[in-house]
Structure 1
Amino acid sequence: MEDKNFRGHAAMLGACITFGLLAPVSKSLFGTGLVSAYALTMMRMGGGTVVFWIASLFTRREHVPPRDLLLFFFASLLGIVLNQGTYVLGVSKTSPIDASVVTTTTPIFVMIIAALYLREPITGKKILGVVVGAAGALLLILSGAHLVSSRTGSGSVSGDLLCLFAQLSFATYFVVFKKLISRYSPVTLMKWMFLYATACCLPFGYSDLKAVGWAELGWADYAQIAYVVLGATFLAYLLMPIGQKNLRPTVASSYNYVQPLVATLVAVSLGMDTFGWLKGVAVLLVFAGVYIVTISKSRAQLEAEAGRGSASR
């Protein structure tokens, strides 16, 4: 059990570290004027499909019944199509700061949906962990806002709402399809989900993908595209199901707070920001929030404790 928990925590940490760079890298590509939001979304989906199907040639083949293939389609709509499509479009309309702020809502959405759908209890410890983690993430983001606002531009209501919808969509996928995710390997799961996602988005994104000024892109732009496809798509979506399979939804989603932490550390390393005591406090709050949610009790644990209490009486 401890090994599974460790794998789950390590996988979610790895996935969120790679996700943490997605907003600034995407914004940098949009700044070239050669890659649109729809084009980048198609690169992620098409590239993810190709890489996951190639990876499936080197893994054990799993039989997927027709019913689960249908479930993969709906999981793809929530976890990839609506999530990736609206998030990348939202980032193109708002600032990376606003986009990072909005990502902190995912654990809150997950906690509420898990309570309604899985009947996971909303305990005081969970609420405390989510609030502490969100406070740390927001402190990180807002403490550096004045340094990057002039470079990245201001946010917009429409962009922020698109990013918010992306988090709600992903939170719903995170909770509702937990059992489906647990039945298959990450490669089997994602090769079908990305195939469906590509088929859904191709009619809307093909013209933008065709219009990309490939010859005008520099090597740094291609490196960023490679990161988006191989890092923030293939690697992140390979690791994420491992975390979902081994951790409760609220615990797994609390790692979302790592994303703004990664963005801040990268900004500091590139000389775009400084690391003072305020950011030190924010980092401690982020990790404290994740830890508090991690040690909160599940429904099964609370029911077991209630059963022991009844037996003792």
Structure 2
Amino acid sequence: MKNSAKVHSALFVVALIYAANYSISKDVMPQYMGPFGLVLLRVVGATVFFGILSRLVAPQDRITGRADQLRAVACGILGIGLNQLLFFSGLNLTSPINASLIQTIAPVVTVLASAVLLGERLTLPRLAGIALAGAGAASIILSKGPVAAGGQDGLLGNVYILLNATAFGVYLVLVMPLMRKYHPFTVLARIFLVGAFLAVPAGWQQVQQPDYASFPASIWAAIAYMVICLTILAYLLNNWALKYASPALLGAYIYLQPALAVLIAVSLGKDVLTWDRAWQALLIFGGVFLVSRKPKAAPQPVPLEPVQD
């Protein structure tokens, strides 16, 4: 298999894993386990796995220096702790389609964070894309969502997913310097360890409440899927693909994930695709497309030949 085919396969599998999770998680939450309990299982499992893997693959690699240490802590808080807690809290209250569409604006947040933290230039097309994607996300968030467990509608869940996308977008900007400087497994081991300090106290009560003996095999399979596939396998494949994938290719797979999530949710009867949601999706996709386009480099001035006397 050629390397390009492997990259496409890895990115497709990652998109499929994330897309299926929107529906699979709804089978577990909240009937069998609360969202924070699932986050605890995911983060602790990944912390142990990447901690062992980093020692086997890169035993001498260590994150050093105060600046990098603080950056790793910030990545663990935003990219693992808050990201996971907000995502599962939101998905517990809103619908799979709403969650998958709102989370698509993460690249928009990444561009905004790059402009604020790295001083990158915001072009007119990117500003238009931010406005377009923002309008689509706001339309979904403010629309009346399905009634979830406990009699709550999806508004709060939609807000949680928006905050989740925001935390993840900022995390992507912060983590890139670490990924370029250290081995990816070293970085993942550290940020998951930091995330565990948020996930464990938040989910400790919920992970003790369920009657595990009453769990059917399908629920155990769903939990195993979220710990092994969603957390570990997706991170491994994504980090490998990032070494070879172009920005344009990564952008294409951004659109594939919510499309797959919609197909899976509708085919399983977990959600319904309406015309309103279709238009909201087009607004977000259009905005993300404009934002993801790389700005043209400014033309370099041609040096003038010196005047000969």
TM range, smaller chain:
0.7 to 0.9
Match for residue 173 of structure 1? 171
Displacement of 1:282 in angstroms is 10
CA offsets, 1:225-274, max 9 Å, x none? 11111111112222344566667989857744332111123245547789
User: Are 1:110 and 1:253, in contact at CA under 8 Å, matched by a contact in 2?
Assistant: no
Match for residue 104 of structure 1? 104
User: Are 1:20 and 1:259, in contact at CA under 8 Å, matched by a contact in 2?
Assistant: yes
Match for residue 209 of structure 2? 211
User: Are 2:23 and 2:265, in contact at CA under 8 Å, matched by a contact in 1?
Assistant: no
Displacement of 1:206 in angstroms is 1.4
User: Are 1:137 and 1:257, in contact at CA under 8 Å, matched by a contact in 2?
Assistant: no
RMSD: 4.2
Amino acid at match of 2:20: L
Match for residue 58 of structure 2? 60
CA distance 1:86–1:201, shift in 2 (3 Å): same
Displacement of 1:18 in angstroms is 1.9
User: Are 1:90 and 1:160, in contact at CA under 8 Å, matched by a contact in 2?
Assistant: yes
Gap regions ≥5 residues in structure 1: none
More deviation, 96-105/225-234: 96-105
Name whichever structure is richer in helix by fraction.
Answer: 1
User: What is the DSSP-based 3-state SS (H/G/I as helix, E as strand, rest coil) of the residue aligned with 1:306?
Assistant: coil
User: Are 2:58 and 2:186, in contact at CA under 8 Å, matched by a contact in 1?
Assistant: no
* Percent identity over paired residues: 29
Alpha-carbon distance in structure 1 between the residues aligned to 2:273 and 2:79: 34
Displacement of 1:47 in angstroms is 1.3
Match for residue 83 of structure 1? 83
CA distance 1:209–1:161, shift in 2 (3 Å): same
Alpha-carbon distance in structure 1 between the residues aligned to 2:282 and 2:154: 30
Q: What is the number of equivalent residue pairs in this alignment?
A: 298
Match for residue 197 of structure 1? 195
User: Are 2:111 and 2:291, in contact at CA under 8 Å, matched by a contact in 1?
Assistant: no
More deviation, 241-250/94-103: 241-250
Alpha-carbon distance in structure 2 between the residues aligned to 1:188 and 1:22: 26
User: What is the DSSP-based 3-state SS (H/G/I as helix, E as strand, rest coil) of the residue aligned with 1:66?
Assistant: coil
Alpha-carbon distance in structure 2 between the residues aligned to 1:232 and 1:263: 14
CA distance 1:80–1:274, shift in 2 (3 Å): closer
**Structure number, greater radius of gyration:** 2
Alpha-carbon distance in structure 1 between the residues aligned to 2:148 and 2:156: 20
Amino acid at match of 2:112: I
Match for residue 94 of structure 1? 94
Amino acid at match of 1:99: A
Match for residue 15 of structure 1? 14
Tell me the TM-score normalized by structure 2. Answer: 0.75
Match for residue 123 of structure 1? 123
Match for residue 156 of structure 1? 154
Gap regions ≥5 residues in structure 2: none
CA offsets, 1:272-296, max 9 Å, x none? 7899999999999998887766653
Alpha-carbon distance in structure 2 between the residues aligned to 1:186 and 1:230: 18
User: Are 1:251 and 1:293, in contact at CA under 8 Å, matched by a contact in 2?
Assistant: no
